[in-house]
């Protein structure tokens, strides 16, 4: 059987752990060459590279803080020199956040700086990566950008104000980008997971909250990193070749549109 991403080059930001690592390994299992971006966790990133190779793909790790435009430009230069092109960009990295319903800040307590930090981590990072990588995207072969957002935008079951507002802005950014890049043959879509468990960010979500979400979810479980990876691969593949500007919810039916 033909592997869907054989000879394709895929950049996954924030790929040293959690959802990003699962996405990288899923692309590798389909024959891709994966660029495992990370900020500081070199050992974890190299472990993902090793797992990608064992899965049947190829991989290299590149350190870059995606909120730093100079670091992103340097990463793009290295990719251009070493590989020469990109087929898929997955903007998965985001500013650190703890999904803790009890300890979350309520609106009167949140500073604008907290919002700004989430904007920088979501929209700012996607902006920097997309600008730097655009010249490398292989437009003749149906290039794709996939941005990771959240189902909290559609249904803020727990009001994580700063995080959710930034992800809403990322959806708006993605739709505008889809409209502009479509004539060039580049598709831009979003994947919106619900609470993903287990991840470092969801570790603070207590079991009773998780159980409540499960009870409200038609498929009666929480998303896993592999669930998110499957949706990303679909939106990056030729199977969704006539899909752009869309947000695909991966939350077991918690949000239905």
Cβ contact 51:29 at 8 Å: no
Cα torsion 73, 79, 80, 85 to 10°: value is -120
Helix orientation angle between 125-133 and 69-82, rounded to the nearest 10 degrees: 30
- In 3D space, the residue among 3, 75, 7 whose CA is nearest the CA of residue 37 turns out to be 75
Cβ contact 236:10 at 8 Å: yes
Q: Annotated catalytic sites, by residue?
A: 163
Give 95-99 contacts, CB < 8 A, sequence gap 24+.
Answer: 95/67, 95/120, 95/121, 95/122, 95/166, 96/121, 96/201, 97/160, 97/163, 97/201, 98/201, 98/203, 98/204, 99/158, 99/160, 99/195, 99/201, 99/202, 99/204, 99/205
Residue owning tokens 């009167």: 108
Residue owning tokens 């950014």: 173
Task: Provide the terminal-to-terminal Cα distance of the chain, rounded to the nearest Å.
Answer: 34
CA 102 – CA 99 distance, rounded (Å): 9
Read off the DSSP letter of residue 123. I
CA 19 – CA 147 distance, rounded (Å): 12
């Amino acid at each position: 059987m033909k592997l869907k991403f054989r000879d394709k080059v895929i950049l996954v930001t924030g790929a040293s752990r959690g959802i990003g690592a699962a996405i990288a390994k899923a692309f590798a299992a389909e024959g891709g060459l994966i660029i495992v971006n990370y900020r500081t966790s070199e050992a974890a990133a190299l472990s993902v590279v090793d797992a990608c190779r064992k899965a049947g793909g190829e991989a290299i790790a590149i350190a870059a803080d995606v909120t730093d435009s100079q670091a992103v430009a340097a990463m793009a230069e290295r990719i251009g020199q070493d590989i020469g092109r990109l087929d898929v960009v997955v903007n998965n990295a985001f500013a650190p956040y703890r999904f803790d319903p009890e300890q979350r800040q309520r609106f009167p307590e949140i500073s604008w700086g907290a919002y700004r930090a989430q904007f920088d981590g979501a929209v700012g990072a996607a902006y920097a990566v997309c600008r730097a990588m655009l010249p490398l995207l292989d437009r003749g072969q149906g290039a794709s950008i996939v941005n990771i957002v959240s189902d909290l935008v559609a249904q803020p079951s727990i009001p994580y104000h700063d995080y959710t507002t930034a992800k809403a802005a990322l959806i708006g950014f993605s739709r505008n980008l889809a409209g502009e890049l479509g004539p060039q043959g580049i598709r831009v879509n979003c994947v919106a997971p619900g609470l993903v468990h287990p991840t470092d960010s969801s570790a603070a979500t207590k079991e009773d909250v998780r159980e409540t979400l499960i009870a409200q979810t038609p498929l009666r479980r929480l998303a896993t990193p592999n669930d998110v990876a499957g949706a990303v691969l679909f939106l990056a593949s030729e199977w969704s070749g006539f899909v752009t500007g869309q947000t695909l919810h991966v939350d077991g039916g918690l949000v239905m549109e």
